[in-house]
Homo-oligomer: A and B are copies of this chain.
């Protein structure tokens, strides 16, 4: 491994290392002739700037961290795409971390990111405890919450999950449903708790008792979790409508119900959440709550980089999008 550094380049081009550095970072300050001489030397030697040295010197790197609950979930994959697009435009890189909904993994990830001296962190936090994030921020790392609203001292980009839960449930009620189920992941996950809250608000507004909706909690928010939830439902009296905390769950539920001979939406109406690409192509096209997923990632990243570029003049913003009801066959 031959390590060609700025010095070798300088020597070859017959200039000082400082000039090479200038060519790299402020090309306008160096005369055209010298510049092209240096550039040629760079090409000939195959020189690549050592990012760690630059980071060490500068105190921060050209990377941002992205911590999501599950890359396998198309929702987060889409967020990641938004992040990656912006970051790559600005010549930065993304360090992707999966917390898998575990606070320990989240902590570990944050430590690694802090060690890497990332400029900022985009995170969908696992729990409600933002103290670790505060400490990060105090250490000079910008933090933007994604799909989770913050309380004034942090930036956040989120979608109103209570409104979404209300939207979904009101829709089911307007269709005549009076006995509902809410299939969800652990209620410790804020998204789940909020959507549930919205569902209950919808019930109250419709004059229905809160016990009209039954919570079906499963450990994982994916298709397998959906299967489990459906099995629980099938073991009792089937509700008239099921609201699922995300589309992955809903697809699992749908499939299991169909296999058991239940007709959707005639026997049971179904609605999911996130409106991932595949929901519209499902066996019974799935109603869902649409979120501006790609924009979530994009805007969060812009906020983050703006905060990085001007830490003083930056005012924390809490952006809240409104979700949108998409009605398809599964609840028509």
For the complex formed by this chain, how many copies does it contain in all? 2
CA distance A53 to B59 in the complex (A): 10
CA distance A140 to B96 in the complex (A): 23
Shortest CB–CB separation between residue A209 and chain B, in angstroms?
Answer: 33
Residues of chain A from 15 to 57 with CB closer than 8 A to chain B in the complex: 46, 48-56
A282 CB contacts on chain B under 8 angstroms: 278, 281-283
Is the CB of A237 closer than 8 A to any CB of chain B? no
Residues of chain A from 286 to 312 with CB closer than 8 A to chain B in the complex: none
| A51-B116, A282-B281 known; A59+B1 contact, CB < 8 A | yes
Contact at B95–A96, with CB atoms within 8 Å? yes
CA distance A109 to B93 in the complex (A): 8
Is the CB of A153 closer than 8 A to any CB of chain B? no
| Contact flags A149-192 to B (C-beta < 8 A → 1, else 0) | 00000000000000000000000000000000000000000000
Is the CB of A94 closer than 8 A to any CB of chain B? yes
| Contact flags A57-71 to B (C-beta < 8 A → 1, else 0) | 001011100100001
Shortest CB–CB separation between residue A263 and chain B, in angstroms?
Answer: 15
A114 CB contacts on chain B under 8 angstroms: 48
Is the CB of A77 closer than 8 A to any CB of chain B? yes
A211 CB contacts on chain B under 8 angstroms: none
Is the CB of A131 closer than 8 A to any CB of chain B? no
Contact at A50–B56, with CB atoms within 8 Å? yes
